[in-house]
Amino acid sequence: MKVLMVLTSHDKLGDSGHATGFWLEEFTTPYYTFLDAGADITLASPKGGLPPIDPNSTQEDAQTETTKRYDADQDLKSKLANTLELSGVSADDFDAIFYPGGHGPLWDLSEDKDSIALIEAFSAQAKPVGAVCHGPAVLRHPKGTDGKPLVSGKQVTGFSNEEEEAVGLTQVVPFLIEDMFAQTGATYSRGDTWQSHVVTDGLLVTGQNPASSDASAKAVLALL
């Protein structure tokens, strides 16, 4: 069971002057969920090397059991420092693909041609595609084998407009996940703010927010 996890390489929060990247817990929780289930995990990012961690996700109030496990895991830290370049990765070598969130993917992975091609390849090969929180931004452009948006007619979720408003970034982000899904013909649903909500439609798994990290990974494992 081989899982490809794709992380953002983008570290600037628009024109706000603040840093961003991937959200640590949204990476560590799925990673260890996959690892503990026996998966062989490969990490990749658009630029390769060490992807940027959103500094807010390393604050004390954002720590969880899995981030603390990461803090003591030198093997994972080494692996994270040496992510593969996305352009050199093939869907043929993996059983599933998963995108953690953080605001970074809104800028790079949503538009990255290699990421788009990978998602289309995983889908065409009938392999699970999973994403959590802002990770579903990567579903903005991929198309299905019928030429329509991959998410057209599908049930999905992702970071809600209300949650984006709550963190004060509605005017900073390049687009809102909830609005994006409406534009691509998907059927968006959400649970309560900051509560776990995961949607599986066929081989597509999406999670709403950080609280959905574990359930999102488990939903991908269920498909495998």
CATH of the domain at 51: 3.40.50.880
For residues 74 and 23, what is the distance between their CA atoms, to the nearest angstrom? 19
Beta bridge partners, 129, equal: 97, 204
Q: How far apart are CA 3 and CA 134, in angstroms?
A: 19
Reported as a single tens digit per residue, the pLDDT across 180-195 is 999 999 999 999 999 9
pTM over 0.95: yes
Q: How far is CA 10 from the centre of its chain?
A: 13
Give the mean model confidence (pLDDT) for residues 11-38: 97
Q: What's the domain range around 111?
A: 2-223
pLDDT digits (tens, 9 = 90+) for 61-87: 999 999 999 999 999 999 999 999 999
Are 112 and 139 in contact, with CB atoms under 8 Å apart? no
Closest by CA to 121, choosing from 138, 143, 139, 105, is 143
Look at the chain and count its residues. Answer: 224
Task: Write out pLDDT tens, residues 125-146.
Answer: 999 999 999 999 999 999 999 9
How many domains is the chain partitioned into structurally?
1
